[in-house]
Amino acid sequence: VMVEKQGFKHFMLKEIYEQPGVVRACLEAYLDTSWSPESATSPIKLNLAPELYSDLKQVQIVACGTSWHASLVGKYLIEQLAGIPTMVQYASEFRYAPSPLTPNTLTIGVTQSGETADTLAALEMEKQRRAGQSPRFEARLLGITNRPESSLGHMVPQVIDTHAGIEIGVAATKTFVAQLMAFYALALDLAYHQQTLSATRLEQILLGLRQLPAQIELILESQERYIEELAHDFAETQDFIFLGRGINFPIALEGALKLKEISYIHAEGYPAGEMKHGPIALLDAKVPVVAIATPGLVYEKVLSNAQEAKARDARLIGVTPLEASESAEIFDDLLPVPVVEELLSPILAVIPLQLLAYHIAARRGLDVDQPRNLAKSVTVE
Ligand code: G6P
């Protein structure tokens, strides 16, 4: 397939702009449009074999890089919506130190390319060690991938296709957002089967999901120019800290990873509440702090953590809704996102962080689509 930049300066920017469409494609693929709260079926259509779900006690997820970050959001969703204990492991670690075998366990490999050697090896190891065990311990393998035809697709009996289309930029953007969508679908489907959510709550979340494409569009339209300008201030910056909590802690990790990958600026993502146990020692006027402060359970907590950073002279950038006046006073720069329920906020919060990383790297004149030392898929150990 011939993929072109269509007027965008880099594939990465084009792919960032494709995200509303990707989310729409995922909604179309995963949501049953004929569903209503009165229906006696799941609102989600993933066509997974019922054996994957039966008497499910645990979920374990293996992944690398950006897919590992999506998996952390997935863990939050599966635990909070479906009430199933979920572990997320780096595939490169799990393959040499697997957790003890647990019964009735769903193992999910998340890899956009379907070719990452460590992820494939971790799944193969899981398959081997569970072969010949009693039925409760048999492997239940599921893949989440953008390439169902990949090696992963051949290795596992079931996949959730992430419908992002081919991604060229080495730094993953649209495939990450699509993986998040796959996890919303999976967590809601599990919640339906576990009967942990009321039909009205399910409907509420589905309504929220349907609004995401237009909300992502709004962020792209209203912020790109501003972020491009803002990026000028950071062309010489050497370190960045990204803070988030709860469901947005993985987004802080992802924001930091995007920046590292393409701008070569040192960046750390941290759970905001942990800052006092180390990273706060790094802070001064030369280290900008990006805080994800979206309304919800940990909103006030993140704001007070951000204030602690401000007291150390850090320049504070807030990914936060404009409507939240208290946060407008705390932050030096705002990257506004629409107000949504906390559960859905990661998919919006990541967009300005992708743009920020992109524009800083572009400003530094770097090869955004092909960063040094990195490969799109790492097919060797
Ligand atoms: C490489 C890429 C990353 C990606 C990671 C995992 O390091 O540069 O962007 O997140 O591999 O890739 P996967 O295809 O398994 O999701």
pTM value surpassing 0.80? yes
Long-range CB contacts (within 8 A, 24+) of 95-98 = 95/121, 95/122, 95/125, 98/122, 98/125, 98/126, 98/129
Q: What separation in Å is there between the alpha carbon of 142 and the centre of ligand 1?
A: 18
Ligand 1, residue 66: give the atom nearest the CA: 10
Which residues are catalytically annotated?
Answer: 376
Written as one string, the DSSP assignment of 24-59 is: HHHHHHHB-TT--TT-SS-SB-----GGGTTT--EE
Cα–Cα distance for residue pair 181/328, rounded to 1 Å: 30
Residue from 116, 150, 151, 261 to probe ligand 1 pocket by mutation (most atoms less than 8 Å from CB): 116
Q: From ligand 1's centre to the CA of 345, what distance in Å?
A: 23
What's 64's DSSP letter? -
- State the distance from the centre of ligand 1 to the C-alpha of 111, rounded, in angstroms: 7
Supply the DSSP string of 137-168, one letter for each residue: GS-EEEEEES-TTSHHHHHSSEEEE-------
Alpha carbon distances (Å) from 163 to 35, 170, 181, 348, 368: 22, 18, 10, 18, 23
Q: Which residue has the tokens 């993929």?
A: 3
> What angle in degrees, to the nearest 10, is found between the helix axes of 65-77 and 249-263?
170
Q: Provide the 8-state DSSP code for 334.
A: E
Measured from CB, residues less than 6 Å from any atom of ligand 1 are 64-67, 111-113, 116, 119, 170-172, 374, 376-378
CA distance 228 to 231: 5
In the reported structure, the alpha carbon of residue 361 is separated from the centroid of ligand 1 by a whole-number distance in angstroms of 19
Query: What share of the chain in percent tops pLDDT 70?
Result: 99
Instruction: Give the mean model confidence (pLDDT) for residues 148-174.
Output: 97
- pLDDT tens track for 328-363: 789 999 999 999 999 999 999 999 999 999 999 999
- Mean pLDDT, the chain, whole residue set: 96
Query: Which residue owns the Cα nearest ligand 1 atom 11?
Result: 377
Task: Please tell me whether residue 256 adopts helix, strand or coil conformation.
Answer: helix
Q: Letter for the amino acid at 238?
A: Q
Q: How confident is the model at residue 326 (pLDDT cuts 50, 70, 90)?
A: confident
Look at residue 1 in the predicted model and tell me its pLDDT: 63
Q: Give the pLDDT of residue 149.
A: 98
On whether the CB atoms of residues 27 and 181 are closer than 8 A, the answer is yes
Atom 4 (ligand 1): residue with closest C-alpha? 65
Query: Which amino acid type is present at position 267?
Result: A
Distance from chain centroid for Cα 355: 15
pLDDT in tens, 89-135: 999 999 999 999 999 999 999 999 999 999 999 999 999 999 999 99
Summary count for the chain: helices (H), strands (E): 12, 10
